[in-house]
Amino acid sequence: MKKKAILLTVVILLSVGSLAQAKEGELSATFDVTYLSRYIWRGIDVYEDNHSAIQPSIDVDLYGTGLGLKVLWSRANGSGFENSEEIDFTLYYNNDIYEDEVYATNYGIGWTYYTYPDEPKAGAAGGQAADMQEFFASLSWPKLCPAGIVPSYTVVCMWPSEGGSTLNENGGWIQIFGLGYDLTVPELTPEMPEQVLHLSAELVYNDGVGGAYAANGAVDHDFSHLLFGVSTEFDLGNDLAFCPGLYYQASMEDSVNDDDETWISLSLKYNF
């Protein structure tokens, strides 16, 4: 199944790319290497006991059409998590509507395939037993609040890719209610330009996702956590940027995570 997913993604990418060449714009990409002091995914501590992770990725923008493809690899910085090595393929489309109105809306839709190459095979089909898929859609309203606060809403539907999956209890729905705000910090010295801090807050409702990680094999359908974050970007020149971030999670549902979490992210990005 992993090979089929890769092949399907490549075919879609090439097909859309050939169509998009008729439009104005250039093919561009962002290469990113991120260090996470903890890998917290949808509220879940994926590498338990607070192990850190390294996550290289490449995000391809198809000629400015709003279509893109992202491939991410995640690996724990420690032993004992070999079967949890993860490669994710995401095909997405972003656009906006009503751009001149107060209710201007940015939207995005996409599909992600989560594959775990070192996990056992499932059944006669030979697909990876732990592979998952999801469809997601997100909305945000950048002009709705005069103070500059941007509300957003994201819905995710996740399901196992294989009938013999070891994660049959891992599927379900997630709803994410978010607020964002860009805070501009004035320049401290003539050599240091003003800096933008990206502030964010999310309230997450989990409707079953992550049961395989829960102690009793199931996730209660409830609000799972509050997530607060601050991040920024330092331009290093030559299309290179350094992006640090600090995050705090107030866990609300023990079947998802019975601990509050604090972690940092350190990213080095190169645009080409």
17-26, 165-174, 194-203, range with greatest mean pLDDT: 194-203
pLDDT at 199 over 90: yes
pLDDT category at 11 given cuts 50, 70, 90 is very low
What is the architecture, at CATH level 2, of domain 2-271? Beta Barrel (2.40)
How many angstroms separate the CA atoms of 250 and 262, rounded? 9
CB of 115 within 8 A of CB of 4?
no
CB of 196 within 8 A of CB of 189?
no
- Residue 111 has a pLDDT of 98
Question: Residue written as tokens 């093919």?
Answer: 27
Q: Where are the domains of the chain?
A: 2-271
Mean pLDDT of the chain: 86
Q: Which residue has the higher pLDDT, 177 or 216?
A: 177
CB of 86 within 8 A of CB of 114?
yes
What average pLDDT score do residues 150-175 get?
82
Tell me the per-residue pLDDT of 42-53, one tens digit each, with 9 for 90 and over: 999 988 777 899
pLDDT category at 168 given cuts 50, 70, 90 is low
As a dihedral over the C-alpha atoms of residue 260, residue 38, residue 29, residue 128, rounded to 10 degrees, the angle is -100
pLDDT at 17 over 60: no
Nearest CA to 169 out of 206, 221, 213, 122 is that of: 213
What average pLDDT score do residues 210-217 get?
69
pLDDT category at 215 given cuts 50, 70, 90 is low
What pTM was computed for the model?
0.85
pLDDT at 89 over 90: yes
Residues 6+ apart with CB under 8 A from 151: 140, 141, 144, 145, 177, 178, 179
Nearest CA to 60 out of 29, 31, 83, 88 is that of: 29
